[in-house]
Chains A and B, each alone.
Chain A
Amino acid sequence: MFFRKLKTFSKGGVHPLGKKVTQNKSIQTLPPPEKISLILKQHLGAPAIPVVEINERVKVGQLVARNNGYVSANIHSSVSGRVDKIEDVLDISGYKTKAITISAEGDDWDESIDRSPDVKHDFNLNSIEILKKIQDAGIVGLGGATFPSHVKLAIPFSKFANILILNGVECEPCLTSDHRLMIEKGEEILVGAKILMRAVHAHKTLIGIENNKPDAIKHLETLAKKYENIKVYALKAKYPQGSEKQLVKALIDKEIPNKGLPIDVHTIVDNVGTAFAVYEAVQKNKPLIERVVTVTGKYVKHPCNFLARIGTPIEHLVQAVGGLPENTGKIVMGGPMMGKSLSSLNYYVTKATNGLLVIPAEDSKREKVRECIRCAKCVSVCPVGLEPYKLMTLVERSQYDDIVEEKIDYCLECGSCSFVCPSYRPLLDYIRLGKSVIKKKTA
């Protein structure tokens, strides 16, 4: 029998089973909510500075907060209406953070935005002009890290990139936002890839997609035939393949050094969602005001993929899928592996929100922690080759010098170790604690 070996990263990894219920549900445009709150720090780097005043009228796509310094991103209004207040709201951890609240009136878009649905293929901008447009549109990495894209794409003089990698892996179970985007906006993503290639002077694009999304692979493969330098690769489904370093290892078999970036092996990795946002910013003049969010759960009535405006209250999303089921135990923002559970529903969609997971009470509780039996399952699944059981014990005993020697800073915080532990030990929680202590000590 002919058997083609699929590409994947070499070491560790798990394959969590999670039904992708929403993979055949097409993206629905969520009607704009009555009120939005745009958190000023929804990207890595310095929080944006508001440029609007209270009671000022804004249009959809109007700049409301400009970037504060180079490593920061612009924020645009996603609804038209009146600026209500610029006040503290609660962030995902429950701490206070500044946000601009806008109450919506009508749906009045900025004139410069092209809202026609047809795909625009041609562009004649050079690298600097593209980067300027990306910076103005406030585009950040939509895979979850929210690193400002214009910083990532501006390659330092001493380095060069010849390969662009588009990340369509979506290795988190349950989430389908990238999957649906690839199927419905495939053409746009490929144009976005072309724009990105010109921006970084790369001559080749590789798109990595896990083989549990055969429809997306087939669709993009047929579309990519028109472009000679874009190739689609099917990857073996394994978590955490969506991580930058693991994806580079899987696709071009090169290791990124610790604390290094993909640029060190002459590649640039971007999410497919980012490529789509870049397309919209460059070709349609549309800033980043919307993103695809998967809302799903075991007992959710109508799980769906939404094209939601950034700043939409979580409650609005929950109502759109038919309200919270009665036995809800936990609401997780993001995927089940790396997502963060919400402490209240008073939160808003940010540029990083790729999914909302409603977990029933029976599945939400953690099991009772038992003693470590030294089975070394955590060691075998760690994608970077650490010994999580050892790190946890060292952090428990506050031996912080030893964890530095054990290379705790290599940890991706993917959670594979906690996932496989038969004693349900909170390995990742302690590793995170150790990392934060070291960060404080060195700072």
Chain B
Amino acid sequence: MSLHILNTILTLSISGIIAAIFLFLVARKFTVKEDIRISQLEKILPGANCGGCGYSGCRAFAEACLKANDLNNLNCPVGGQDIMSNVAAFLGVKMVEKYRYLAVVRCSGSKANCREKNIYDGAESCAIANNLYFGETECYYGCLKLGDCVKACPYDAIHLDTESGLPVISDKTCKACGACVEACPRNIIELRKVAKNNRRVYVSCVNHDKGGIARKICTAACIGCGKCVKECKFDAITIQNFVAYIDPEKCKLCRKCVAVCPTGAIREEGFISIKNYAKRQETDKKKSSQPITNVA
């Protein structure tokens, strides 16, 4: 009886040892050598896997960073400057100054500006409505107000304004990953380079109709009048298909175009409005009684 037990134990342990040696050799032979720095770099990155950088996820981006010699064409929009400086420090390369980008909604067709002509009560999705017909208002180019961008945003940075019905993008939470740009069936949302304090000036309309028609449809439409083009000293504004576009690279944020726009289609955001500016000047005067010389 005891011999039986001994036999069993011996056979099992010998076969176990053989299998262990075999597995060890196999593991040796087929081992995958991986750069440890990839996982280390991945830990530095935000780990959102949003794809905003153009790679399939944070790990793919880390691999791309390691392969590249400099960080010229690489940027994590979610992490921004802080994370990228960490990445640069880790890799021992020079940090490249990158501008911040923000998503802007280029439509002013709120319920007050752009009248509704019919009622849509189908499935709540912009893509479906866009497939089906031109929308509740007469504008073929404007926002459908059904919130595909809200559903697409992984950071919960977009909400539909109850009064105007248009999507509002929060400056603080938007990481410029571009999910909303892809989700919008009418290509209204644009990722725009912003200056310090998220300052930006942009044309909030994409209507390609002639001025008269666009104005009839929506009171806040860009009519392609060209006043802003004449006013701009930096040649930053171009008009194509009856709609103006401000080049963020050339725009110096002087905001003269905002003042001359007859329909109010050009928007300035991130600035202290002129009213507030005057107020602040007054309070500052009271405080220090010294005139302010430099204008921000």
Query: A residues engaging B (CB < 8 A)?
Result: 92-95, 343-344, 365-366, 369, 426, 429-430, 432-433, 436
Contacts and interface: CB of A to CB of B under 8 A. Distances in A.
Contact of A343 (B121, B127, B128, B133): B133
Nearest to B127: A433
A344 B133 CA distance: 12
Nearest to A418: B123
A322 to B, nearest CB: 23
Contact of A426 (B117, B122, B134): B122
Given A365-B121, A426-B123, 11 more contacts: A95-B133, A343-B134, A366-B122, A369-B124, A426-B122, A429-B125, A429-B128, A429-B132, A430-B123, A432-B131, A436-B131
Nearest to A392: B123
B158 to A, nearest CB: 18
Contacts of B117: 343-344
Of A94, A344, A369, A426, the most chain B CB neighbours within 10 A belong to A94
B140 interface: yes
**Residue from B124, B127, B135, B138 having most chain A Cβ neighbours under 10 A:** B127
Contacts of A343: 117-118, 133-134
Q: In this complex, which of B122, B128, B135, B138 has the most chain A Cβ atoms within 10 angstroms of its Cβ?
A: B128
A336 to B, nearest CB: 15
A286 B132 CA distance: 35
Contact of A93 (B121, B125, B134): B134
A249 B225 CA distance: 61
A92 to B, nearest CB: 8
21 contacts: A93-B134, A94-B133, A94-B135, A94-B138, A94-B140, A343-B117, A343-B118, A343-B133, A343-B134, A344-B117, A366-B121, A369-B123, A429-B122, A429-B123, A429-B125, A429-B128, A430-B123, A430-B128, A432-B131, A433-B125, A433-B128
Contacts of B127: 433
Candidate in A343, A366, A426 with the most chain B CB atoms within 10 angstroms? A343
Contacts of A436: 131
A366 B124 CA distance: 11
Closest 5 CB pairs of A and B: A94-B134, A426-B123, A429-B123, A93-B133, A343-B118
A369 B122 CA distance: 10
Contacts of A94: 133-135, 138, 140
A189 B123 CA distance: 41
Interface string B89-127: 000000000000000000000000000011001111101
A93 B124 CA distance: 18
Query: Which secondary structure characterizes the binding site on chain A?
Result: loop
Nearest to A90: B134
Nearest to B120: A343
Contact of B140 (A95, A344, A430): A95
Contacts of B125: 429-430, 433
A429 B129 CA distance: 9
Nearest to A396: B125
Interface residues of B, number: 16
A94 B135 CA distance: 8
Contacts of A366: 121-122
Contacts of B138: 94
Interface of B: 117-118, 121-125, 127-128, 131-135, 138, 140
Residue among B117, B123, B128 with most chain A CB within 10 A: B123
B153 to A, nearest CB: 14
Contacts of A93: 132-134
A430 B124 CA distance: 10
A369 B123 CA distance: 9
Contacts of B124: 369
Nearest to B136: A343
A331 to B, nearest CB: 10
B40 to A, nearest CB: 33
A344 B128 CA distance: 19
Contacts of B128: 426, 429-430, 432-433
B150 to A, nearest CB: 14
A5 B131 CA distance: 42
Nearest to B122: A429
A95 B123 contact: no
Contacts of A369: 123-124
Contacts of B131: 432-433, 436
Contacts of B132: 93, 429
B116 to A, nearest CB: 11
A436 B127 CA distance: 10
A426 B140 CA distance: 24
A364 to B, nearest CB: 8
B29 to A, nearest CB: 35
A430 B123 CA distance: 8
Nearest to A437: B127
A95 B128 CA distance: 15
A103 to B, nearest CB: 24
Nearest to A432: B131
A415 to B, nearest CB: 12
B121 A95 contact: no
Nearest to A343: B118
A8 to B, nearest CB: 31
Contacts of B135: 94
B202 to A, nearest CB: 27
A436 B124 CA distance: 17
B51 to A, nearest CB: 13
Contacts of B122: 366, 426, 429
Contacts of A365: 121
A432 B134 CA distance: 16
Contact of B118 (A92, A344, A429): A344
A436 B130 CA distance: 11
Contacts of A433: 125, 127-128, 131
A95 B134 contact: yes
B123 to A, nearest CB: 4
Contacts of B118: 343-344
A430 B128 CA distance: 7
A366 B121 CA distance: 7
Contacts of B123: 369, 426, 429-430
A430 B131 CA distance: 10
Nearest to B209: A96
A241 B243 CA distance: 49
Nearest to A366: B121
B147 to A, nearest CB: 14
B121 to A, nearest CB: 5
B255 to A, nearest CB: 36
Contacts of A429: 122-123, 125, 128, 132
Nearest to B124: A369
A106 to B, nearest CB: 35
